[in-house]
Amino acid sequence: MPAVVQVDCFFLLRPGRAQLFCPARFGLIKTVNAELCKKALEKVGNPNVLINLVSRRVRQLNSGGGGMNRPLILDATNLGMADIALREIIEEKIGWDLPEPVELTRPVAKKRKKH
């Protein structure tokens, strides 16, 4: 049974290959390299963060234009946009910051003054 992580898109991991499935994008299914997924997951650590990084970077690459819309890796021939995004994460061409966890405290009710 394949492992499934669902956010806005999710990966279906199978031996030898992985698929990026985006139901919000008209049932779009793209096959990505499973080895790239595993290596990128080792770098990021959290599959939900990885999905968000890859989907945001794919949107940037697909939007065209210049600057950040071009692949940051040298050899991007015969690679899909998701594979390019994964290789950029593996080669540390793009970065991310996770916020520090903040401990929440319950607010204390103020004492009312009696008149």
pLDDT per residue, tens digit, the chain (115 aa), is: 344 333 445 555 555 555 555 544 444 455 678 888 889 999 998 888 998 999 999 999 988 777 778 888 888 888 888 899 999 999 999 988 888 888 989 888 888 877 7
Tokens 């697909």 correspond to 62
Tell me, what's the pLDDT at 85? Answer: 92
Tell me, what's the pLDDT at 2? Answer: 40
Tell me, what's the pLDDT at 53? Answer: 92
Tell me, what's the pLDDT at 77? Answer: 83
Q: Identify which of 89, 81, 43 has the alpha carbon closest to the alpha carbon of residue 62.
A: 81
Please give the CATH topology (third level) of the domain spanning 3-90: Eukaryotic RPB6 RNA polymerase subunit (3.90.940)
Phi and psi angles of residue 44, each rounded to the nearest 5 degrees, phi first: -85, -45
Tell me, what's the pLDDT at 42? Answer: 92
Are the C-beta atoms of residues 10 and 30 closer than 8 Å to each other?
A: no
Q: Sign of dihedral through CA atoms 78, 82, 86, 91?
A: positive
Tell me, what's the pLDDT at 74? Answer: 87
